Structure 1
Amino acid sequence: MQETLEDRGFRVITAKNMAQFRKLDAEEDVDLYLIDTSLPDGSGLSLVRELRQVTDRGIILLAGRRDEGEGVRGLELGADDSLVKPFRQRELAARVTAVYRRTGRGTPVRPPEQPNVDHRFEGYSISLQSRQVWAADGSEIMLTTSEFELLAALIARRGQVLSRDQIMNAIKGRHWESYDRVVDGIVSRLRRKIPSATRGSHFIRTVHGVGYAFTA
């Protein structure tokens, strides 16, 4: 894996266990994490949960075929992607490149008149080009790749109800199966990060038995 990614221009740092990882992570400025679900001294899922509480950097989870359900659980916890072992090195490189590109960040605060704002609602601003969301005070709201893509998919069809299948296809494409729990988890996190200050309900409305709609 290291050789494959280095051949494509990435600088790769490896850790054999949680203790070594924590030491390296404190010393290095990491852009993307590849985390195995089975670690010799801890849980990869616990590490995903821990990292997502403090960073919006890219996270890809690696799960064995017998532990494929842990890959789904990782998505619920905020991982951007997951791969089931064994996988082709070409697929690994493609997934890493895609997540790395999607999670690129610009400056945290937008100027008063930023030209690339595509959507505004209740003080929030969204730039599809830079993949950023700002609150009314100009502070950036950090979203994971899946959170941003789900929000963009709903806003693109504002007022229309999208099924979970449509949402999952929009944010992950044909390589992904539709897991209701994953979509529900992403929606729940978005509601917490982008609350409504003037209405009693959320911007993302649940249509029971169908899916979700953006109503701002």
Structure 2
Amino acid sequence: MVRPNVLVLDDEIQITELLEMALSEYGCDVCTVSKISEFQNKQAEQAFDIYIIDLGLPDGNGLSLIQELSQNPACGVIIVSGRGADTDRIVGLEIGADDYITKPFKLRELVARVHAVLRRTQRHRVVQQDVAHATTDSTADTTSTIQFDDYRLDLGARLLFAPHGGEIELTTAEFNLLAALLNRRGQVLTRDQLMNAIKGRDWESYDRAVDSLVSRLRSKIPAPSRRSHYIRTVHGVGYAFSLPSNDRVRDHEG
């Protein structure tokens, strides 16, 4: 069995030594660095299955790295930070991290969370392989779009276009949340379901993170003033994407 590769970025030597020891015993190949520049050099040399990143670093902030890594769903990202405020956790999850662990932490808990993220990345690889095997015609165009009113969501290019044709910029988490709601339009999705759709998290969700994403989507995708927004709040449960009965959502393949 191939051993998972883990890259740890933290400027505290005691933390990196503990993580290397614990994760090596778990069955991972672990590489540790203390600066963003060293991280980028290692990343250029090889791909890693899991990235464990501290936010406060001597040569910058780890958030920019996490945003970049979140574009690749085949890898997992865990934040390990001394910042324990809810706002820090929410921001970290919104920009694409799989999990957020506050220092000090228990090694067994961290190993368990690494295992959970690995399950998510492995599931993604299986899905991608299934898709590849199912595509027997090399000339087939697998691009699909979803239209609602005059908005158009391009799932292949991961872009949202406004009624006037211009692009509406969405973060990775915003796009994933909107796609999840549209793919199951008319159904009520719980915050846990939406959190799982955003990054496939196996741990506790942060309700405020989902609420914040929904609020931002509502501001970026205004509905006609004659009615409430497309994303409907179902109090005590979660959210649903809905349109008036005389409007339609259209799926296009090809």
Q: TM-score range by the shorter chain?
A: 0.5 to 0.7
Deviations 1:152-196 (A, max 9, x none): 7996x76332354674599656734421x345538979xxxxxxx
**Structure 2 contact 24–30 (Cα < 8 Å) conserved:** yes
Alignment partners' CA distance in 2, 1:175 and 1:94:
13
User: For residues 26-41 of structure 1, what are the structure 2 equivalents within 5 Å?
Assistant: 26-41=44-59
Aligned residues: 180
User: For residues 14-163 of structure 1, what are the structure 2 equivalents within 5 Å?
Assistant: 14-53=32-71, 55-56=72-73, 57-67=75-85, 69-104=87-122, 105=125, 106-107=128-129, 109-112=132-135, 159-163=186-190
Partner secondary structure for residue 79 of structure 1: coil
Partner secondary structure for residue 13 of structure 1: strand
**Structure 1 contact 15–21 (Cα < 8 Å) conserved:** yes
Alignment partners' CA distance in 2, 1:33 and 1:58:
6
Q: Which runs of 5+ in 2 are unaligned?
A: 1-18, 137-142, 146-154, 159-171, 218-229, 243-248, 250-254
Q: Which runs of 5+ in 1 are unaligned?
A: 114-121, 125-134, 190-204
Partner secondary structure for residue 96 of structure 2: coil
Alignment partners' CA distance in 1, 2:22 and 2:120:
20
Structure 1 runs of 4+ aligned residues shifted over 6 Å read 144-155, 186-189
Which residue pairs with 2:207 in the alignment?
178
Q: Identity of paired residues, percent?
A: 39
Query: Does 2:234 correspond to 1:206?
Result: no
Alignment partners' CA distance in 1, 2:118 and 2:176:
14
TM-score (norm 2): 0.55
TM-score (norm 1): 0.63
C-alpha root-mean-square deviation of aligned residues, in Å? 4.1
Alignment partners' CA distance in 1, 2:214 and 2:78:
16
Partner secondary structure for residue 175 of structure 1: coil
Alignment partners' CA distance in 2, 1:147 and 1:4:
35
The Cα of 1:32 is off from its aligned counterpart by 1.2
- Do the aligned partners of residues 174 and 67 (structure 1) sit closer, same or farther apart at CA in structure 2, a change above 3 Å counting? closer
Structure 2 residue identity aligned to 1:185: L
Alignment partners' CA distance in 2, 1:75 and 1:87:
18
Alignment partners' CA distance in 2, 1:68 and 1:59:
18
Structure 1 residue identity aligned to 2:189: L
